[in-house]
């Protein structure tokens, strides 16, 4: 009997903790941007630290609920945190939604859904294997996102074909569910969307489990806060877009 994906929703107090930590971590990031924009002649490099502030805030909040964290690497230079609850046998990671591609772009990213030997493995593909026992629906729900081979590594990391062993044996023994929480900003640079996904190792796509955006509180920014970092954040998104185009060109070149 197929187990519905609704059964993989986060416990309500886990979901509340994660959403609050993402919002508060983002606010910490904004405060640092405000401080150093006034102190330094150039501070745009702080645009790349947003995920660090968010993940650090999750660390501060999650340990009281029985989670531990493990630092891992998603490329030559891009570190991130894995949050593990051994009693519940689950792991989650936090991702900026800008690092995922719409499902309709799948064919411009992966040579095929089976990941042939010539395809490059990424840490998300490795971690998705933790969900190999889960029966994902074939037709009940459309997959929402496809793993982007390079964009998931970080916008300035262009290392290709690396195998970083994202899932050591001890994690495989402790965990049998892998979850992804994505966050997104609106046009006013406010935290507006937090969605819970689980990736399927068979088709390399992520399936939406629950939209947690209704739990977002205190995300409104003042005009002063938006002006402090908006220009640099736009530059950050421009670099991501350029990286996206670069990966498209590389894919087309490899296929010729």
- Please, are residues 136 and 200 in contact by the beta-carbon 8 Å criterion? yes
The 10s digit of each residue's pLDDT in 14-32 is: 999 999 999 999 999 988 8
d(CA 24, CA 3): 34
- Please, are residues 209 and 198 in contact by the beta-carbon 8 Å criterion? yes
Q: Which pLDDT does position 249 carry in this prediction?
A: 63
The 10s digit of each residue's pLDDT in 192-239 is: 999 999 988 887 788 899 999 999 999 999 888 887 766 566 666 666
- Please, are residues 54 and 79 in contact by the beta-carbon 8 Å criterion? no
User: Which is higher by pLDDT, 118 or 51?
Assistant: 51
Domain range enclosing 125: 5-255
d(CA 247, CA 115): 17
Could you give the number of structural domains in the chain?
1
Q: Which pLDDT does position 83 carry in this prediction?
A: 96
User: Which is higher by pLDDT, 50 or 99?
Assistant: 50
Q: Mean of the per-residue pLDDT values for the chain?
A: 75
- Find all residues with CB under 8 Å of 45, minimum gap 6, and list them: none
Res 96 pLDDT > 70: yes
Nearest CA among 25, 28, 56, 30 for reference residue 43 = 30
Res 65 pLDDT > 90: yes
Q: Rounded to two decimals, what is the model's pTM?
A: 0.74
9-13, 16-20, 125-129, 138-142: which range is least confident on average?
138-142
Highest mean pLDDT among 43-47, 82-86, 98-102, 222-226: 82-86
The 10s digit of each residue's pLDDT in 131-151 is: 988 888 764 445 455 555 444
- Please, are residues 180 and 198 in contact by the beta-carbon 8 Å criterion? yes
How much of the chain exceeds pLDDT 90, in percent?
A: 34
User: Which is higher by pLDDT, 33 or 154?
Assistant: 33
């Amino acid at each position: 009997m197929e187990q519905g994906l609704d059964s993989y929703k986060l416990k309500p107090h886990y979901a509340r903790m994660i959403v609050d930590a993402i919002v508060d971590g983002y606010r910490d990031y904004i405060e640092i941007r405000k401080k150093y924009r006034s102190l330094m002649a150039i501070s745009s490099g702080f645009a790349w630290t947003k995920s660090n502030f968010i993940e650090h805030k999750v660390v501060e909040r999650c340990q009281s609920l029985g989670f531990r964290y493990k630092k891992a690497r998603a490329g030559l230079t891009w570190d991130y945190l894995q949050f593990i609850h051994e009693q519940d046998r689950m792991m989650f990671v936090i991702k900026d939604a800008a690092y995922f591609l719409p499902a309709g772009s799948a064919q411009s990213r992966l040579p095929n859904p089976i990941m042939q030997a010539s395809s490059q493995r990424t840490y998300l593909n490795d971690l998705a294997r933790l969900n190999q026992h889960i029966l994902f629906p074939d037709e009940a729900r459309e997959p929402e996102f496809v793993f982007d081979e390079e964009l998931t590594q970080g916008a300035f990391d262009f290392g290709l074909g690396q195998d970083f062993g994202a899932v050591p044996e001890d994690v495989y023994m402790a965990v049998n569910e892998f979850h992804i929480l994505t966050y997104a900003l609106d046009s006013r640079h406010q935290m507006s969307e937090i969605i819970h996904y689980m990736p399927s190792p068979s088709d390399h796509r992520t399936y939406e489990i629950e939209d947690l955006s209704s739990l977002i509180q205190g995300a409104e920014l003042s005009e002063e806060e938006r002006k402090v970092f908006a220009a640099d954040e736009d530059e950050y998104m421009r670099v991501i877009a350029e990286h996206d185009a670069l990966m498209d060109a590389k894919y087309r070149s490899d296929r010729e």
